[in-house]
Amino acid sequence: MSAWDHTARFSVVIVTMARPEPLRRALQSVARELPDDGEVIVVDGDPKRSAESPVRELQERFPGLDVRYIASRPGVTLQRNVGIDAARRDVVVFIDDDCRLERGVFEVLACAYGDRAIVGVTGRVERRARDRLGPESHSRLRWLLVGAGRQGTMNSYGLRRPIVDVGEARDVEYMCGAFMSARREVAASMRFDETLNGYALGEDDDFSYRLSRVGRIRYEPAAAIFHDELGFAGMDRRQIDRVRVVNRAYLFRKNFPQTRRAKARFAVLMAMLCMHRIVNREWSGLRGLLGGMREVRRTRSPGVHLSPGAALLQPLASVRLVSTVQMALVFAAGLLVALGIDHFFEPW
């Protein structure tokens, strides 16, 4: 643990589910960096309590560290809310159980929270390079594809505008779920939306965007973590992509005005994602996307059953993009865009 002059005190919340080895590495990095008056809260969603042993080992190695183990029902949003309720410090810091903190993280966060207008702070999330088609998540091309605009904000239908200039501090409207922080009292009033259950894709965007409506969120590149991104390993690609569509449609309706233009852009995004899965020959993911679209439509119109193809076209029809020529242009544009992106939808 480290000791230095600061004002903010930190509660580090790590939610975990049957990943004891990555959790051990995450806990070691937190113990190395956390100030002496901080605390660590591990919320374990595993019925077998697999996180209990790593926590006990940490307590034995760092007897002066305030660390608590909490068993919980599984679910990312539920577990994070449990962590918020258990937190006893000024600032709650959320990291994933497959992350490792770089040096000086808490010093940077404490400096940022010296400004009382700041309600949330995040930092740089480093990842391994991927082998899928397209540029990295912070590329200028990706920024242009979502309509450009101010880096670090959300566009009209809830898609992240990437931070291209990653070395510059700035105010933002979203935080990556692997590394978020917020003043505890504000986090307790916002809470995570437990409607997004299970793996809860999109819960980080929802929480941080709502947080940005009540105060400033700061991106500080000097605060960095490394994220192993083990969350998708071994998961059903079809199920993941189905949840992407269902959750994103829900959050679009929840947080953003339902203008005709925004609906049209969201529908084009759906077409683009399907083309991306086709280009990468990810047939299971494509079936998941189409299944998610059909589920969204059924939710809006109970008793109406659409084929996957009709489910894909229906959102476009709702904004009057119905002619053969228009549809062809939409899908052609989706194909071209798909050729230029990689994990475009991954942060969602």
The DSSP-derived string for 82-103 is HHHHH--SSEEEEEETTEEEPT
Q: How far apart are the first and last CA of the chain?
A: 34
Residue found under tokens 């190695």: 61
**Whole-number Å distance between alpha carbons of 40 and 93:** 9
Give the pLDDT band of residue 276 (cuts 50, 70, 90).
Answer: confident
Does pLDDT of 129 surpass 80?
Answer: no
Tell me the pTM. Answer: 0.83
Torsion sign, CA atoms 176, 177, 180, 185: positive
Q: Which residues contact 210 (CB under 8 A, 6 or more apart)?
A: 190, 255
**Whole-number Å distance between alpha carbons of 254 and 234:** 31
- Are β-strands 91-96 and 179-183 bridged in parallel, bridged antiparallel, or unpaired? antiparallel
**Whole-number Å distance between alpha carbons of 237 and 250:** 20
The DSSP-derived string for 296-341 is HHHHHSTT----HHHHHHHHHHTTT--SHHHHHHHHHHHHHHHHT-
What pLDDT sits at residue 92?
A: 98
The residue-averaged pLDDT of 226-247 equals 83
pLDDT digits (tens, 9 = 90+) for 302-342: 333 444 444 444 444 444 433 444 455 555 555 555 544 44
pLDDT digits (tens, 9 = 90+) for 181-193: 999 999 999 999 9
pLDDT digits (tens, 9 = 90+) for 52-67: 999 999 999 999 999 9
Higher pLDDT, 275 or 173: 173
